[in-house]
Amino acid sequence: MSGIRRKAWIVSIAAAVSLMAGVAVQADEPFRTLDEIKESGSINIGVFSDKSPFGYVDENGEYQGYDVYFANRLGEDLGVEINFVSTEAANRIEYLQTGKVDIILANFTVTEERAEEVTFALPYMNVALGVVSPEDAVVESLEDFPEDQQIIVISGTTAETYLEKNYPDIKLQKYDAYAEAKTALENGNAAAWANDNTEVIAFAVENEGFEVGIPSLGSQDTIAPAVAKGNDTLVDFINDEIVALAEESFFHKDYEETLIDTYGEEYENTLVIEGGLTDVPEDALETETEA
């Protein structure tokens, strides 16, 4: 096959793919309303299956964790069976937009970009960035961070974007997987590791000789359930649940059942959001959920 013909094919394939993408934008979102879910007798909830202690599978094959604990309660109050779907960070939005799951409860951080694609309910957990470093050389501030040193980040995380934007002079050491990043930090490949503070706190708790020098960096974000864009009946139900559950301090109980072993008591009030009430104003989110 000649080079020119090969090129022509590549171009036509690319055209076909982009055509599909174009059509996709116009297609209706096929989500299920609250009544349809109740009628069917089961709800599909997307959770992580390998992010302990938020969503994981225990040795008996049962889904467990902070997110799952809430999912179970939602299923119970809806009176339907829960069908847990194992999701990955990269396909959470896709699952909602194609209606393959009804709710995503997979440690989903609320961001403006994501709020354009899906509808977030009220938040149930706080998250910010954190920086963990060895005890003997704790990094407590990123201002005047030494030029000859590096910070570990995981590609595609909010930590990577935040540091690149706000501290362009700091050299980053990027890894794809959590395991690699953790090993690199343990081996002393870099001065510190920046990630969601839940992750770095857990790391410091689990590994002797490390300390979270910066527990909260950048903007305070929240974790919230998400449903397909425009699925108002379902998001209203979830919001009512979250507000009502505050009376029984549901998310504190959730924390004590699932997270306390990892984070200890001291982070309970930092991490838990009860009744969807945060101290941080959330303009984008408010309009989302009110709509």
Partner 1 sequence: MQSLGIDVLFKGINFQRLLGGLWVALRISLISVAISIVLGIIMGLLMVNGNKAVKAVCRVWLEIVRIMPQMVLLFVVYFGTTRVFGWNIPAEESAIIVFSFWGTAEMGDLVRGALISIPKIQYESAMALGMPTGTMYRYVILPQTIRRMIPLSINLITRMIKTTSLVMMIGIVEVLKVAQQIIEANRRTSPNAAFGVFGAVFLMYFCICWPISRLAAALEKRWSDEDPDSRRHGRKKDRKSSKKKTAGTLQTKAVS
Closer by beta carbon to partner 1, 13 or else 280: 13
- Shortest Cβ distance from residue 266 to partner 1 (Å)? 18
Q: Give the count of alpha carbons within 13 A of 101, CB side only.
A: 27
- Shortest Cβ distance from residue 20 to partner 1 (Å)? 6
- Shortest Cβ distance from residue 281 to partner 1 (Å)? 34
Closer by beta carbon to partner 1, 30 or else 146: 30
Tokens of 103: 């709710």
Closer by beta carbon to partner 1, 18 or else 141: 18
Q: Where along the sequence are the contacts to partner 1 (CB under 8 A)?
A: 1, 6, 9-10, 12-13, 17, 20, 23-24, 27, 30, 46, 49-52, 56-61, 64, 85-88, 90-91, 94-95, 97-100, 179, 206, 261-262
Closer by beta carbon to partner 1, 91 or else 220: 91
- Shortest Cβ distance from residue 261 to partner 1 (Å)? 7
Q: How far apart are CA 238 and CA 67, in angstroms?
A: 13
Q: How far apart are CA 249 and CA 174, in angstroms?
A: 39
